[in-house]
A and B are shown apart, each in its own frame.
Chain A
Amino acid sequence: MGEVEEEEASMVGLDQLPSALLATIMVKLDVSSICSVGSTCKTFRHCASHVLSFIPTIHLLEIAPSIELLRPLLPPNPLMRSLKMDCDRLNDSAIRLLVRPSLHELHLHNCADFSGKLLSEIGSQCGDLKSLYLGSVAENRGRALHVSDLEELLSGCTQLEALFLMFDVSIFIRHNFARAWALASTKLTSLEIGYISSVMITELLHPNLEPPHIQPSVLPRIQKLSLSVDYITDAMVGTISRGLLSLTHLDLRDAPIIEPRLTFDLTNSGLQQINQHGKLRHLSLVRSQEFLVTYFKRVNDLGILLMADSCANMESIYLGGFCRVTDTGFRTILHSCSSLCKLRVAHGTLLTNLVFHDIRATSLSLTHVSLRWCNLLTNLGVKNLVSNVDLRVLDLRDCKSLGDEALRAIGTLPKLKILQLDGSDITDMGLSYLRWRVITSLTSLSLRGCKRLTDKGISLLFEGSSKYELQELDLSNIPSISDDGIFSLARARLPILELRLRQCPLIGDTSIMALASMQAREEGWQGSRLRLLDLHNCGGITQLSFRWLKRPYFPRLRWLGLTGSVNRDMVDALARSRPFLHVACHGEELGADPSNRLDDSYMREYEDLDEFEQWLLGGEDSGDNDDDNDDVDDEDVPMEVAEFDAEMEE
């Protein structure tokens, strides 16, 4: 007995390690874990505040801190190199805290309440800055943003290599804007702009002097360009391709509000001009259907053939909205680009199995494949596609003709991490092909809208005591999923962090209880590890669930989706008692980056409409739809209207 006690007394506990070693451990943690450790005992509290004064990286994107919360987290720290923050609750008074001369990387999201002073302060203080991301600057009413602020930013940050201006820069007057860019750092290699009109960018890059082989004075060394414009036009694509000599990544996305005219659209000749300097590796041309159902109607196979001619070294291609391109075009891409790793096609209306018919003959080894809204793709095409055994990401959402045979083929992929099969015609039998092998390597699985699945399929999928790596699971819009299915998830002790169960009428209070008491597989965790739970429109949720959504249950939950109409008072009380939990009541998509998940997926809101209703509503702006089944957040509509106004004024 005495020996055991002696042994215990001599064993070192974590709080008995020397403070230098404790600091070595804590420096490897993220900010919220540091604060969590700092709340346990005096030694750690001291160590945590010490670590915050020399930690090089502070990334806090999961919550939007207020300035009172932020102050203790950002003490004077001469070694701070990288700062990422959600600034939703901050304004100009926080500039002093956020802008530090030692920074090399600064990413500030949701800066709607800041004015242009943020840009000028960054320009004057952060001379060593290499990477800058600014989201939604000065978007709130009454916040001023002048081109002089942009000029100060560009001239001050002389070492800037990557710049992300994720707001509408078309508010700047055109000739002043072009002049500002002449001041930009010559090291700038990566540029992304949230919204710019195609006329502005064409004028910006248009060389001032003849002959055209003289390097433009603006943005000479840009390698990565990512723009969101109003219309992708031939002129713009031509100017970009001619003017930027070192371009390796080109990412263009447009969202027309009216049907584009010939002079304001992409045609075959525009595609022919791509990659004039032969360095392009990644190309992305996407026509979004955010405001209007429209496509690249003036591009057909000829354009793709002309483009593929000069694009033999491409590694990644994303074509969205090319409805007139047939199998010939897509096949040419596969056969000409021998280094292709990532292929994404959205709205490939004429894409069929023939594209992948002889993919084995190529030496391609695709790792990311995304084929959305390709309704002519069937199981045979997928069977040929999975000859690429290195596939890590497979996104076959909204390909309505896919069934169980496709899953049988997918079940052979050894390295698959992300699988998305929304809206396909699979059944429980198909899911069983994923057992034992693919399901143990998957980190993200989406089966939204696969209406033929039942609880049995889900339970069989997660049967057995394998170790799973699944972190995201989407079982929304599956009518037969009930509490039994959720029990099987809890029993399997899946380490899921995000679970979406939108519009599942049979999910009820017992599911919440099961999820709340789900034990993690490893030691030391108490309670659920879920960070995101979406229960929008789940039929069985009653007041009883709210008891299980309060503390101490779901300690790590950051996002919760409920139907606000169920019990408004309780929802408000919950939101008040858990101030750092985002509670969504209007059916918005959840997540830190909902646009990533949306990705033209506003179309998901049409799931409950049958084909006739879809035809009736087709072509209308989704924001105008007042249909009860429509889950689009009404609050989004005024923003779109504001953008319309900006367009009209131009």
Chain B
Amino acid sequence: MRYLALPLLSQNLTESTARAQTLSLYLQLSLQVSLSQRNESTMSSSSSSLPSCPKKVVTLKSSEGETFEIEEIAALQSKTLENMIDENCADTPIPLPNIKGKILAKVVEYCNKHAEVGVDAESLRAWDAEFVNVENTTVFDYILAANFLEIPTLLDLTCQSVADMIKGKTPAEIEKTFNIKSAFTPEEEEQVRRENQWAFE
């Protein structure tokens, strides 16, 4: 086994770096596995044709250990999963330790819906609108999941729905909608109000 070089963990680790490191770990692990597999398979006959296999399925594991299956075609919407599939790491269940089970289930549902053929744009839009018609905290979880899995359509949809919730509201309304605690000192508060008075009266 080759020695896996672990990159230094710096203090200002951003999420994308963490993801990249996770990915590189996977790649190196799977390279080990596939190399050993290839060594085995060259022994067996190479003329065996592939059986008519059922659609390729990728298994995802949530933070609680629940597994979800998603067709490969649908999984391709996620750039992260696409990379893994390309590198042949997707044969074992992929652990996603920061996505909860019920969020992962919905994300799988989203990918499946958007991978369907023959759906007209109007009904897809309506389905999307219904999809984000949930509690704010759930939408934030969707955003984090879409960001981690790099699903641009879902990220855009969820961020747009949050933006629509903010548009046109006064600060008091925004604080109430999203349960934000204002952490300004009274002087800061006064200054902020004065600067932005024009935006909301």
Known: A17-B140, A526-B173, A555-B170. A35 touches B162 (CB 8 A): no
Closest to B189 in A: A39
Does B200 touch A at the CB level, under 8 Å? yes
Interface residues of B in 131-163 (CB under 8 A from A): 136-137, 140-141, 143-144, 147, 155, 159-160, 162-163
Contact, CB under 8 Å: B182 / A37: no
**A560-B137 Cα distance, complex, nearest whole Å:** 38
Could you list which residues of chain A lie within 8 angstroms of chain B, going by C-beta atoms?
11-15, 17-18, 20-21, 24-26, 28-33, 35-42, 44-45, 63, 65, 69, 72, 523-526, 529, 551, 554-557, 578-581
Q: How many chain B residues have a CB neighbour from A under 8 Å?
A: 43
Closest 7 A/B residue pairs (Cβ): A28-B163, A524-B177, A35-B199, A32-B199, A14-B178, A39-B171, A35-B196
Task: List the A side residues contacting B178 at CB < 8 Å.
Answer: 13-15
Task: List the B side residues contacting A557 at CB < 8 Å.
Answer: 201
Closest to B172 in A: A526
Contact, CB under 8 Å: A13 / B140: yes
Q: Could you list 30 examples of A-B contacts with CB < 8 Å? A: A12-B141, A12-B144, A13-B180, A14-B162, A14-B180, A15-B178, A17-B143, A18-B15, A18-B147, A21-B143, A25-B163, A33-B167, A36-B199, A39-B199, A40-B180, A40-B182, A41-B180, A41-B182, A41-B183, A45-B192, A69-B198, A72-B195, A523-B177, A524-B177, A526-B176, A556-B170, A556-B201, A578-B201, A579-B198, A580-B201
Task: List the B side residues contacting A555 at CB < 8 Å.
Answer: 170, 200-201
Known: A12-B140, A41-B182, A580-B201. A36 touches B169 (CB 8 A): yes
Contact, CB under 8 Å: A15 / B170: no
Closest to B165 in A: A524
Known: A29-B167, A36-B170, A37-B166. A14 touches B140 (CB 8 A): yes
Could you list which residues of chain B lie within 8 angstroms of chain A, going by C-beta atoms?
14-15, 136-137, 140-141, 143-144, 147, 155, 159-160, 162-163, 165-184, 192-193, 195-201
Known: A14-B136, A36-B171, A37-B174. A65 touches B199 (CB 8 A): no
Shortest Cβ distance from residue A533 to the other chain B in the assembled complex, whole angstroms = 13
Known: A21-B159, A35-B199, A41-B184. A556 touches B168 (CB 8 A): yes
Task: List the B side residues contacting A37 at CB < 8 Å.
Answer: 166, 171, 174
Given A33-B168, A35-B195, A36-B174: 9 more A-B contacts, CB < 8 Å: A13-B180, A18-B15, A21-B147, A38-B192, A39-B199, A40-B174, A65-B198, A69-B198, A526-B172
**A15-B162 Cα distance, complex, nearest whole Å:** 12
Closest to A557 in B: B201
Known: A17-B144, A39-B196. A525 touches B173 (CB 8 A): yes
Closest to A558 in B: B201
How many A-B pairs fall under 8 Å by CB? Answer: 124
Contact, CB under 8 Å: A28 / B160: yes
**A38-B200 Cα distance, complex, nearest whole Å:** 12
Contact, CB under 8 Å: A556 / B200: yes
Task: List the B side residues contacting A41 at CB < 8 Å.
Answer: 175, 180-184
Contact, CB under 8 Å: B147 / A581: no
Task: List the A side residues contacting B197 at CB < 8 Å.
Answer: 580
Contact, CB under 8 Å: B198 / A63: yes
Contact, CB under 8 Å: B180 / A15: yes
Contact, CB under 8 Å: A30 / B170: no
**A579-B197 Cα distance, complex, nearest whole Å:** 9
Task: List the B side residues contacting A32 at CB < 8 Å.
Answer: 198-200
**A333-B76 Cα distance, complex, nearest whole Å:** 53
Shortest Cβ distance from residue A581 to the other chain B in the assembled complex, whole angstroms = 7
Closest to B175 in A: A40
**A63-B184 Cα distance, complex, nearest whole Å:** 27
**A239-B201 Cα distance, complex, nearest whole Å:** 52
Closest to A63 in B: B198
**A205-B183 Cα distance, complex, nearest whole Å:** 64
Shortest Cβ distance from residue A13 to the other chain B in the assembled complex, whole angstroms = 6
**A551-B165 Cα distance, complex, nearest whole Å:** 23
Contact, CB under 8 Å: A25 / B192: no
Contact, CB under 8 Å: A524 / B173: yes
Shortest Cβ distance from residue A184 to the other chain B in the assembled complex, whole angstroms = 37
Closest to A31 in B: B199
Shortest Cβ distance from residue A35 to the other chain B in the assembled complex, whole angstroms = 4
Contact, CB under 8 Å: A524 / B169: yes
User: Among A13, A28, A39, A529, which residue has its beta carbon within 8 angstroms of that of B159?
Assistant: A28
